[in-house]
Amino acid sequence: MASTSTSDVPSRVSKVKKDRTQLCDEFAAIAGTDSAVARCYLAENDWQMERALNSFYEADLERVFAEDFEENDNAPQNKRQRTEKTTSTDCIDLTKDSPAARKPSDEDDHKLSLISWNVDGLDTDNLVERARGFCSFLVLYTPDVVFLQELIPPYVQYLKKRAVSYLIIEAGEDGYFSGMMLKKSRVKFLESEIITYPTTQMMRNLLVAQVTFKGQKLCLMTSHLESCKGYARERMKQLQVVMQRMKDAPADVNILFGGDTNLRDTEVAKVGLPPSVCDVWERLGKQEHCRYTWDTKANNNKTVPYVCRCRFDRVYLRPATQEGVPRLAPDHMALVGLEKLDCGRYTSDHWGIYCSFAVE
């Protein structure tokens, strides 16, 4: 019977110690921290470097968001005063109605309003101020429904803390994902589901929510379709899933889909839209001022050595088809997020889309 020499044990222990010391050094160099912190995160994550780094960055982002309204001592006085005012309580609803908010008229009150926006949560530079900037648009437009892409867990926690007048539905828990926000006073939530795209390589899925608005059935869908030019085939397969879902929905339901589709017009033409589904931008006359939602010529959040102007973000509508059921019809569209924040950057590298829909 073979036996292991006791002299081998110290050598194995020494090797493990050496390997783990090297891992700590590598972690500290990557994360810009010391070996004690590195050892803590690595030990908690079974000495798996990628898992440990993900845990570290998530915790660091949570710390940043927890300190979201702190300013340094050399900040302008008026900015510090605004900060002191907003930090007077532990939980502040940045989206509640205020004298400065846009008050809907009686006519607008019967319209459904929507914002769809890829908020670029994966870009952590100035993320706190950019998240606050996003909330300012919620105050300004008071949308009934918000579709969001590229959310990360700390961003969602921030929104749950600061946008308490909205119900937030998430399409994931780890990494990055899509989500929805529903104005509690206007939209009644019934149920939701997450549909996974079978062959996605980028953790993409379709988030579907059944709600009622003004007593009428409404199906809401959002997604972040596969990115990059080389993934056109997968992106078109995902679009087919979305369109089939819209086509097959009950006749007494209005359906809205919005999100960062990454679609090119040629790809949409190859897939084809069902006759009952319309592209809201096209239905409203293809207005040039809201054509490009990803525009490196106007938006410098991403430093790329080329100019790219694309209509990646889109909204599709399938009105109810049953006779006697009120139908949604496109009413208005505009781009939001076009103003730079105090930090010198935009809320996202994408412009957001604001839409309103009349009930016919």
Point out the residues that are catalytic.
260
CA distance 53 to 50: 5
For 47-71, letters b (16+ CB in 10 Å) and e give: beeeebbebbeeeebeeebeebeee
**CB-based contacts of 97, cutoff 8 Å, min separation 6:** 103, 142
Helix, strand, coil percentages for the chain (3-state, nearest 5):
35, 25, 40
List the one residue out of 210, 238, 211, 237 whose CA is nearest residue 224.
Answer: 238
Output DSSP code: residue 99: T
Whether 147 contacts 178, CB under 8 Å = yes
216-224 vs 254-260, strand pairing mode: parallel
